Amino acid sequence: MHEAEGGSGLAGTVAYRLGVLGALANTRFAARIEPYDLKPRHLALMTALDAGRVASQQDLAVRLGVAPSLVVALADHLESLGAVARTRDARDRRRQVLVLTGHGRELLGVCAAAARELDEELTAALPAGDRAALDRVLAALTSDAPAVEPGDAP
């Protein structure tokens, strides 16, 4: 069997194939959200905020596994778009807390719709049963995964 068709070579590993598919999906998704002046990393931060927990910039950096300076830069951009707001933490006035605004939730909704459209494109060749199976497998594989930006997963 040729390595590109699977087997024992690198191209036959789940890690490699998911990496190739992830890179493709990330590139296509980034192109779809670019008109909103957003990148996947902005959405990773917004999604973390949308989970409902109040989070300081430092907390978000730990949760996302990125440098605090990156969170500050992302938050600056999102704040300029009106997608997030910074407030002082009521328990510790030294800390900045980020909250998702109504406009931020609207942007997340638009980007989620773009992601669902891309899902349809990526899985168009699969029968419905295979799509459902893929969804279950991906849910199982990512259930304990840390929140990471698409394209930055190891």
Q: Which is nearest to 36 in space by CA: 113, 118, 110, 137? A: 110
Domain membership flag for residue 103: yes
pLDDT digit string, tens, across residues 8-27: 799 999 999 999 999 999 99
Higher pLDDT, 107 or 64: 107
CATH of the domain at 61: 1.10.10.10
Please report which helix (H) or strand (E) contains residue 97, including its range.
strand 96-100
Q: How many domains does the chain have?
A: 1
Position 53 pLDDT exceeds 80: no
Domain membership flag for residue 5: no
Q: Domain range holding 132?
A: 38-141
pLDDT digit string, tens, across residues 72-124: 999 999 999 999 999 887 787 778 889 999 999 999 999 999 999 999 999 99
Domain membership flag for residue 153: no
Domain membership flag for residue 114: yes
Q: Return the pLDDT at 107.
A: 97
Domain membership flag for residue 8: no
Domain membership flag for residue 25: no
Query: What tokens appear for 72 in the block?
Result: 């500050």
Position 151 pLDDT exceeds 80: no
Domain membership flag for residue 134: yes
Dihedral angle of Cα 137, 141, 146, 147, to the nearest 10 degrees: -20
Domain membership flag for residue 19: no
Position 7 pLDDT exceeds 70: no
Q: Return the pLDDT at 5.
A: 54
Q: Return the pLDDT at 153.
A: 38
CA distance 1 to 7: 7
